[in-house]
């Protein structure tokens, strides 16, 4: 029986070989077309490694809220960041990692799904991220939500830090500053202390936190960004150059602003960056702007004064007071008989002069009175400057991604 089976198999093999040889001969003569219905190869999508994602060695367990992205210097685009989450979460429990799944959907701008995941658990990180979502989504109940969150977690710094973003979104810089200050009294991060001191224009105090900030190893890119702007205010070109060298390989919007300042390199600014308008003005390349949206506060303040547009001046001065809690002026002695001047440098540190907080509601009349009183007292002419805090330092603390969500 075995011999019969072997003979049958040999015959089949021989027949198949003959069949193949006949088909090849027919193909050569053009009588038979090749069989295109061969076995179809099964294809499956294989993840192609992205170098930026692969080199990010942060554990998914360490990224629990929006601040962690800043702490760990994660500058991936939102798209790549959501892919990073997807890869790291591929075998994780939906219930256990619902907060991270929510963050993944947040970075995809799928806010509805993000909200559902944030609401699955009652842990604080999920509540923080839900608050962040409410801010960027302009939810009407944002104030109420944070009031309740502060009542239940009065000693958590991240709650106050997240609330500061609500004020930054409204460009209420003074209240943002206050919230960040309260937050850091609980968090005690040196990089935040640097930002607060730079906002106050206490640049030496800011530099005093530099070494400790590097030792802490948190938000090192933020530290370098703030350090660069401090070097501009204190006119330390060597420090500016060395700090720029640490930053220039980055391609983030914040670094693009610095590239424009350092080398006048032309970059395409993102539409959501409100500070770039000031950078362009500083470099002598101003672009047309809308007064209601502009952050050229010093320029518009002086413009309305020079034009003697009393109503517009008073209205604008009130707006500045709302944003910064007062209208801080510094008066410098001048050889000019009038106070006419051209403002070109927005990174000037006024070390001497007479400081006055202009009061309303008749700001225009009170300013004229202050000019007359100073001339009478010192027997010389004075020119005034609007001396605002360096409010961009507060946004630098959080970086381009947060600005993208707040101002896009």
Cα distance between residue 233 and residue 390, in whole Å? 10
Last residue of a domain, one of 185, 218, 236: 185
Indicate whether 315 belongs to any domain. Answer: yes
**Considering 154, 185, 216, which residue would you say is the last residue of a domain?**
185
CA 275 to each of CA 46, 177, 293: distance values in angstroms, whole numbers, following the listed order? 41, 17, 11
Residue, of 119 and 46, whose pLDDT is higher: 119
Element (H, E) at 328: strand 327-334
Block residue for tokens 């979460």: 89
pLDDT of residue 41 exceeding 90, the answer is no
User: 44-48, 198-202, 353-357: which has the minimum mean pLDDT?
Assistant: 44-48
What is the distance between the alpha carbons of residues 55 and 78, in angstroms, rounded to a whole number? 16
Q: How far is CA 226 from the centre of its chain?
A: 13
pLDDT over threshold 50, residue 124: yes
- Is residue 159 classed as helix, strand or coil in its secondary structure? helix
Residue 287 corresponds to which tokens in the numbers above? 């672009």
The pLDDT of residue 183 is above 80:
yes
Q: What is the mean pLDDT of residues 75-79?
A: 93
User: Which run of H or of E encompasses 103?
Assistant: helix 98-106
Query: 345, 344, 327, 324: which is closest to 391 by C-alpha?
Result: 324
Residue 305 lies in a domain: yes
Given the structure tokens 């990224």, which residue do they identify? 63
- What is the residue whose two structure tokens read 């590097």? 214
CA distance 368 to 379: 16
Is there a domain that residue 2 lies in?
A: no
75 inside domain: yes
Q: H-helix or E-strand containing 20?
A: helix 2-28
Residue 34 has pLDDT above 70, yes or no: no
| Cα–Cα distance for residue pair 210/157, rounded to 1 Å | 21
- Residue 5 within a domain: no
In a domain, 323, yes or no: yes
Smallest CA-to-CA distance from 104 within 120, 87, 121, 91 is with 87
Query: Which residues does 102 contact at the CB level (< 8 Å), separation at least 6?
Result: 113, 114, 115, 116, 117, 118, 120, 126, 129
- Please state, in angstroms and rounded to a whole number, the distance separating the CA atoms of residues 153 and 146: 10
Tens digits of per-residue pLDDT, 256-270?
888 888 876 677 778
230, containing H or E segment: helix 220-233
**Residues whose CB is less than 8 angstroms from the CB of residue 134 and which lie 6 or more positions away in sequence, other chains included:** 141, 142, 145
Write out the two tokens for 314. 């008073």
Is 378 a domain residue? yes
Of 53 and 406, more confident: 406
Kindly tell me if the per-residue pLDDT of 281 is higher than 90: no
Q: How many domains does the chain have?
A: 2
| Within a domain: 9 | no
pLDDT of residue 158: 98
80 pLDDT more than 70? yes
**Chain centroid to CA 301:** 27
Using the predicted structure, report yes or no on whether residue 213 has a pLDDT greater than 70: yes
Residue ending a domain, among 185, 209, 237, is 185
Cα 191 from Cα 174, distance rounded (Å): 19
CA atoms within 13 A on the CB side of 338: 5
Q: In terms of residue numbers, what domain contains 318?
A: 297-390
The string of DSSP codes covering 169-184 is HTT-HHHHHHHHHHHH
Q: What is the CATH number of the domain that holds 76?
A: 1.25.40
Residue 346: pLDDT band (50, 70, 90) is confident
Mean pLDDT of 100-119: 97
C-beta separation of 194 from 223 below 8 A:
yes
């Amino acid at each position: 029986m075995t011999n019969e089976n072997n003979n049958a198999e040999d015959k089949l093999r021989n027949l198949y070989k003959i069949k193949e040889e006949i088909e090849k001969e027919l193909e050569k003569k053009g009588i038979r077309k090749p069989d295109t219905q061969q076995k179809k190869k099964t294809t499956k999508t294989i993840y192609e490694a992205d170098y930026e994602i692969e080199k990010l060695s942060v554990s998914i367990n360490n990224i629990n809220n929006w601040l962690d992205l800043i702490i760990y210097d994660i500058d991936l685009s939102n798209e790549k960041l959501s892919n990073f989450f997807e890869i790291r979460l591929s075998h994780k429990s939906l219930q256990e990692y619902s907060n991270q799944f929510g963050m993944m959907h947040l970075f995809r701008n799928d806010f509805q799904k993000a909200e559902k995941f944030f609401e699955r658990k009652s842990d604080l990180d999920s509540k923080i991220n839900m608050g962040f979502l409410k801010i960027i989504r302009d939810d009407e109940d944002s104030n109420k939500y944070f009031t309740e969150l502060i009542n239940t977690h009065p000693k958590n710094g991240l709650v106050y830090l997240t609330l500061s973003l609500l004020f930054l979104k409204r460009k209420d810089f003074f209240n943002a500053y206050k919230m960040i200050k309260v937050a850091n009294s609980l968090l005690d991060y040196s990089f935040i202390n640097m930002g607060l001191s730079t906002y106050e224009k206490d640049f030496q105090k800011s530099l005093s936190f530099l070494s400790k900030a590097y030792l802490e190893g948190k938000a090192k890119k933020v530290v370098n960004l703030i350090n660069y702007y401090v070097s501009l205010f204190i006119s330390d070109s060597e420090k500016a150059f060395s700090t720029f060298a640490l930053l220039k390989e980055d391609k983030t919007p914040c670094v693009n602003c610095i590239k424009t300042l350092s080398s006048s390199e032309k970059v395409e600014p993102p539409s959501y960056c409100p500070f770039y308008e000031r950078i362009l003005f500083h470099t002598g390349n101003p672009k047309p702007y809308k007064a209601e949206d502009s952050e050229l506060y010093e320029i518009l303040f002086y413009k309305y004064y020079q034009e003697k547009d009393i109503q517009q001046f008073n209205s604008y001065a009130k707006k500045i007071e709302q944003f910064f809690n007062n209208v801080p002026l510094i008066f410098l002695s001048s050889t000019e008989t009038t106070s006419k001047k051209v403002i070109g440098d927005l990174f000037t540190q006024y070390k001497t002069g007479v400081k006055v907080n202009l009061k309303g509601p008749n700001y225009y009349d009170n300013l004229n009175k202050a000019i007359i009183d100073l001339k009478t007292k010192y027997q010389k002419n004075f020119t005034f400057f609007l001396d605002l805090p360096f409010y961009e330092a507060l946004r630098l603390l959080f970086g381009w991604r947060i600005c993208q969500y707040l101002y896009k």
